[in-house]
Amino acid sequence: MTLDEKTVPAQAAAPHRRKPVPRWLLGVGPLVLIAILVGLFSLLNAPGLGTLSEGVPPKEEVAVEDIRLTPGQIEITVRNEGPDPVSIAQVNVSDYYAMFTQSRETMAPLESTTLSISYHWVDGDPYEVALVTSAGGKIPADIEAAALSPERGGSFFALMALLGIYVGVIPVALGMLWMPFVRRSSASWVRVLLGVTVGLLAFLAIDATLEAVELVAGNGAFGGPMVVFLGALTAYLILEGTDAWMRRRQELGATGRPAALPPQRLALLIAIGIGLHNLGEGLAIGSAYAVGSLALGASLIVGFAIHNTTEGLAIVTPLAKQPPGLGRLVILGLIAGAPAAAGALIGATVYQPALAAFLLGIGAGAVAQVAVKLLPLLKDTSGKTFTPLTGAGIILGLGVMFATGLLVQA
């Protein structure tokens, strides 16, 4: 038998190899099947499950998002947080059933409606407001002390911008005046100041998280408190990923490892983190003033100024050995302080609790990421990060922020 005769049967016996399925099709295929099944399930109206809701009253969960008072009228914005449609049938104001109109007759899940209630309220008086649904449920929307809501005109927005400058830009700029003191401090004192900075940022992260959770504690729409931690984690990962990408682009040192984080960039990260925090702070201030629930007197402005002045110190401390030019300091100050003005403007116009909580969460995650980046700079000559000096600095930073925070309780 020749060689050709031997190879023919072997080739005939070999199985035919099919062309492999494209990898993208393997990933998209299950998604298409899931979409088809969900579409059929909805089109057929959940076959076999229709009887489960028979005899069960609708679940009504409605949150009050905004209350505005104008002459002879009360405007209340509410949002449906439950799974069933909700209709507002009656409005009771201090045992009086008032006439009202609404922007939407029936609220589907996550939809909102604004009720315009005809009622001649008296300045300074409290009112118990109850929104009665078509199913008989009652939604409380009490007014502790009636006050005319400010008009949202040009002068109002100018006031919000000025307020943001007062509580954001000016205090941060004043805090940055510690730059000469930081430059002339010894290495031990610089580590103490860095510890103070870590304490300041840690307090800001905790304070922003608690404030954000409080905003949505009774509001389950859009995830409730989960949006706070989602915002914090998003900000932390974005800043961490951005920093890692920038460090990989630098030249490697003699050891083959990325170079240490430059002080200039660390100061920029601190300014960004504080700016995001001040954005959420300004948002809360603007929204509170817009509904007339915050007394923005001179003492409150002074309290905010003292509280936020320490943020300027946090920015300039990493620059002790590499002082920047005046222009760069101005830019860093604006990055940290100007978002307070932007937040006040946003809060005065399109305030929404879930959005405010998300932005506060972003600020908390940003300052937490920067605080972690500062820890390696606390090391002394023996390589220890936490020493009595740095520990005292961290405690001092926390204490200063707590004490000045008491001045802005409203």
pLDDT digits (tens, 9 = 90+) for 136-152: 888 898 888 888 877 77
Q: At residue 305, does pLDDT exceed 60? A: yes
> Whole-angstrom distance between the N-terminal and C-terminal Cα of the chain?
102
Phi and psi at residue 96, to the nearest 5°: -125, 125
Torsion of CA 353, 355, 358, 364, to 10 degrees: -80
Task: Report residue 253's pLDDT band, with 50, 70 and 90 as the boundaries.
Answer: very low
Q: What is the DSSP string of 102-141?
A: ES-SEEPTT-EEEEEEE----TT--B-EEEEETTS-EEE-
384, 250 contact by CB (below 8 A): no
The pTM score is 0.69
- Per this entry, what is the length of the chain? 410
Q: Report how far residue 76's alpha carbon sits from residue 78's, in angstroms, rounded to the nearest whole number.
A: 6
> CA separation (Å) from 267 to 226, 274, 319, 374?
30, 11, 7, 10
Quick: pLDDT tens for 43-64.
877 776 666 666 666 777 888 8
Question: What is the pLDDT, as a whole number, of residue 212?
Answer: 84
Question: What is the pLDDT, as a whole number, of residue 10?
Answer: 52
Eight-state DSSP code of residue 47: T
Quick: pLDDT tens for 155-209.
878 888 888 888 888 888 888 888 888 888 888 888 888 888 888 888 888 888 8
232, 361 contact by CB (below 8 A): yes
Quick: pLDDT tens for 74-119.
999 998 888 889 999 999 999 889 999 999 999 998 888 999 999 9
Question: What is the pLDDT, as a whole number, of residue 1?
Answer: 54
Alpha helices in 127-225 (DSSP H): 154-164, 170-175, 179-183, 187-215
CA 345 to mean position of chain CA atoms: 16
- Name residue 106's beta-bridge partners: 87
Task: Report residue 255's pLDDT band, with 50, 70 and 90 as the boundaries.
Answer: very low
Least confident of 66-70, 169-173, 292-296: 292-296
Q: Report how far residue 380's alpha carbon sits from residue 376's, in angstroms, rounded to the nearest whole number.
A: 10
Q: Report how far residue 145's alpha carbon sits from residue 348's, in angstroms, rounded to the nearest whole number.
A: 20
Torsion of CA 362, 364, 366, 369, to 10 degrees: -140
Choose among 120, 171, 149, 97: nearest CA to 408: 171
Task: Indicate the helix (H) or strand (E) that contains 68.
Answer: strand 62-70
- For residue 108 the two structure tokens come to 């589907």
Domains of the chain: 62-140 (2.60.40), 154-249+258-408 (no CATH)
Q: How many CB atoms lie within 10 A of CB 206?
A: 16
Question: What is the pLDDT, as a whole number, of residue 100?
Answer: 93
